[in-house]
Amino acid sequence: MRNPLLLTVLSCLTYFTDAHPYYNLNKKDETSDGFIKLVGHKTYGGNSSCVVGDFLQRRDGSENMIEYDFEFQRYFYSVDVRIGSNGDNVTLLVDTGSSDMWVMSSAMNGRCNTANSSDLDSDCDFGTFNYNDSSSFHNNETDFKISYNDGTVAIGVWGYDKVAIEGHPIADVNFAVVEQTESEVGVLGIGYPLLESTNNGNSTRVYENLPMRMKSEGLIKKNTYSIYLNGSDDSDASIVFGGIDHSKYTGDLTLLPVVSFSREDKSRYFRVAVTLTTMKLLNSNGTQTDLSDGVKYAALLDTGSTYSFLPSRLLKSLMSQFPNIQYSKSMGYYLIQCSQASSFNLVFDFQGFNIQVPLANFLINFVTPRGKIQEWCGISFQKMSSDDRVILGDDFMSGVYTVVDLDDNVIALGLAELDSPDEDIEAITDSIPSATSALLYSETWSP
Ligand SMILES: *[C@@H]1O[C@H](CO)[C@@H](O)[C@H](O)[C@H]1NC(C)=O
Ligand SMILES: *[C@@H]1O[C@H](CO)[C@@H](O)[C@H](O)[C@H]1NC(C)=O
Ligand SMILES: *[C@@H]1O[C@H](CO)[C@@H](O)[C@H](O)[C@H]1NC(C)=O
Ligand SMILES: *[C@@H]1O[C@H](CO)[C@@H](O)[C@H](O)[C@H]1NC(C)=O
Ligand SMILES: *[C@@H]1O[C@H](CO)[C@@H](O)[C@H](O)[C@H]1NC(C)=O
Ligand SMILES: *[C@@H]1O[C@H](CO)[C@@H](O)[C@H](O)[C@H]1NC(C)=O
Ligand SMILES: *[C@@H]1O[C@H](CO)[C@@H](O)[C@H](O)[C@H]1NC(C)=O
Ligand SMILES: CC(=O)N[C@H]1CO[C@H](CO)[C@@H](O)[C@@H]1O
């Protein structure tokens, strides 16, 4: 056993490669109307690699430093769409935390992955769009610029063109074509229209984004979608626009009101956020420990974030439950023995509806380049800069089934039926079918 306190990070590098087993488009039968199912896989966008030094004590008392390369894989969830008159195939990261769609321009070919183009291959693995060659493309000639929480920025030009998803053509979809970014993949933002980047300090313009276009084209009845992230190799992740797949959750589907996430939000209905009433740690002998101490949080359900973010108070309260935990300042992670974590679950209480997610969902395995999995795992929770809200990322969302209804401003959550290969899709025409209101439905909280 290696004591992680002795590990010193010498340098960390995040890089992306064309060797990842990314998303395959598996066409399914589209017989029913009123919904569109997009199938996806967890997409490995690249590895983070850290060179770690470990001081070993020699018998004579002197120290000898040896170096290891540690790697862990980063991931996101994506779908493939086809754009323009030539049907350019582009892979996009699905993001409930933003509302704009943008694609990588073919002018980027050879310049993608600019984060580290100097030392690595810079192919645009996730596809590009050549708007000069698309006869149906209209250039709005207005500037697009978006900044994400992780510090990445994308800059380009607005336009519209036809977009086909799972073989369904949708006319005049607004999206930006990006020629400057350090991101490696384009984004399909499916949040509220008010969150669109055109609604900024200079203008209050909003436009029809992709889910809204699907609705106005009659492909779906309401601006709703259901998200299932847990799929193994045989049973894919999926997002059903306009419908709900009853085979992908177990137990109750519980309705929660959307709440505002931040005081700066331009409206109550601005982001896909709900009330997190309490958070508890459950150990294998059934003991529950309240971590939140009566404090409620607004919780953003964000598929665009690989990991979840907790305010430091909640983070400290959680970490104090584990006697052997270590914090690596240079790696930015709390480290715990992987085996110790397996006997714990986290209980997220949303207005009386409890969702239990294994702590194992929140672990990062570190692997040496020779493929040896380390005994110590990183805990994926990141520190949130504000103290009244949390971001629940893919590590949380892979354990739940999420139905978002942007027309009626409600979200239904259920426990995910893991690795479910079945399919039982119902179109959403009115309220979310089979969902019942949370016990404490009116007890919302927002900053
Ligand atoms: C689209 O591109 C992705 C990623 O390169 C690939 O896996 C997929 O097979 C392509 N789809 C089609 C229909 O060509
Ligand atoms: C990334 O990590 C995975 C597993 O840790 C490994 O299989 C893969 O080869 C790595 N890719 C690169 C480019 O190092
Ligand atoms: C499209 O054409 C313009 C003008 O010829 C050129 O400047 C631009 O680089 C082209 N873009 C792409 C993506 O080929
Ligand atoms: C508003 O416009 C100014 C001038 O064009 C620009 O510098 C600024 O970045 C814009 N603000 C936003 C929020 O886009
Ligand atoms: C692009 O132009 C069209 C047509 O004028 C307009 O409907 C649409 O809102 C514009 N898109 C953006 C993102 O401004
Ligand atoms: C789905 O959940 C199972 C059980 O927790 C896990 O083993 C599997 O890796 C998950 N699949 C994905 C794609 O997250
Ligand atoms: C349950 O586990 C906790 C810590 O994990 C321990 O403090 C407590 O004594 C245990 N209770 C029983 C009844 O085993
Ligand atoms: C964004 C990023 O990871 N940049 C790294 C690119 O590679 C150089 C060294 O090769 C690092 O110093 C950067 O931090």
386 within a domain of the structure (yes/no): yes
Beta bridge partners of 328: 333
35-44: b (≥16 Cβ within 10 Å) or e: bbbbbbbbbb
CA–centroid distance, 46 to ligand 2, in Å, is 8
Of 126, 152, 143, give the one whose Cα is nearest residue 25: 126
Q: In angstroms, what is the span from residue 196 Cα to ligand 4's centroid?
A: 15
Report how far ligand 3's centroid is from the alpha carbon of 132 (Å): 6
Domain count, the chain: 1
Pick left, alpha or beta for residue 371 (phi over 0 → left; psi -120 to 50 → alpha; otherwise beta).
left
Query: One-letter amino acid identity for 14?
Result: T
Mode of pairing for the β-strands spanning 88-95 and 400-405: unpaired
Query: Which residue has the least CA distance to atom 9 on ligand 3?
Result: 107
Phi, psi angles (nearest 5°) of residue 340: -65, -35
Distance 300 CA to ligand 2 centre (A): 30
- Show the tokens assigned to 233: 């190799």
Which ligand is nearest to the Cα of residue 183, counting in written order? Answer: 8
> Quick check: helix, strand or coil at residue 280?
strand
**Three-class SS of 64-101:** EEEEEEEEEEEEEEEEEEEECCCCEEEEEEEECCCCCE
Domain of 172 in residue numbering reads as 4-437
**Residue 446, in any domain of the structure:** no
Print burial letters for 376-402: b (CB count within 10 Å at least 16), e (below 16): bbbbbbbebeeebbbbbbbbbbbbbbb
Stretches in the chain below the pLDDT threshold 70: 1-32, 41, 44-74, 113-122, 231-235, 329-331, 368-371
pLDDT of residue 26: 30
Residue nearest to atom 2 of ligand 1 (CA): 89
Question: What atom in ligand 1 is closest to the CA of residue 125?
Answer: 5
Question: Which alpha helices (H) appear in 192-327, and where do they start and end?
Answer: 210-216, 312-319
Q: Contact, 148 vs 98, CB < 8 A?
A: yes
Burial 151-177 (b: 16+ CB within 10 A, else e): eeebebbbbbbbbbbbeeebeebbbbb
pLDDT of residue 108: 87
Q: Token pair of 295, please?
A: 């404090």
- Sign, CA dihedral 401-97-225-252, equals positive
Query: Is residue 29 situated within a structural domain?
Result: yes
Q: How far apart are CA 427 and CA 343, in angstroms?
A: 39
**Nearest-5° angle of CA 152, CA 357, CA 312?**
50
Tell me whether residue 85 is in a domain.
yes
User: Which pLDDT does position 368 carry in this prediction?
Assistant: 66
Query: Is 73's C-beta closer than 6 angstroms to any atom of ligand 2?
Result: yes
Token pair recorded at residue 411? 């979200």
Residue 286 backbone zone (phi > 0: left; psi -120 to 50: alpha; other: beta): left
Pocket residues: Cβ below 6 A from ligand 1? 23-25, 80, 89, 91, 127
For residue 151, the model assigns a pLDDT of: 79
**Strand pairing report for 243-245 and 425-427:** antiparallel
Q: Is residue 445 part of a domain?
A: no
pLDDT on residue 30: 42
Q: Atom 6 in ligand 1: which residue has the minimum CA distance? A: 24
Distances (CA, A) of 195 to 83, 98, 191, 209, 386: 23, 7, 7, 11, 20
* Least distant ligand from the CA of 74: 2
d(CA 91, CA 186): 7
Any domain includes 297 = yes
Instruction: Tell whether 161 is covered by a domain.
Output: yes
Pairwise CA distance, residues 245 & 16, whole Å: 33
What is d(CA 396, CA 394) in angstroms, rounded to the nearest whole number? 5
- Going by alpha carbons, the residue nearest to atom 10 of ligand 3 is 132
Phi, psi of 208 (to 5 degrees): -80, 110
Query: Is residue 203 within 6 Å of ligand 4 at its C-beta?
Result: no
**What is the predicted pLDDT for the residue at 120?**
43
Domain containing residue 137: CATH number: 2.40.70.10
Residue 443 inside a domain? The answer is no
> Residue 21's pLDDT is what?
26
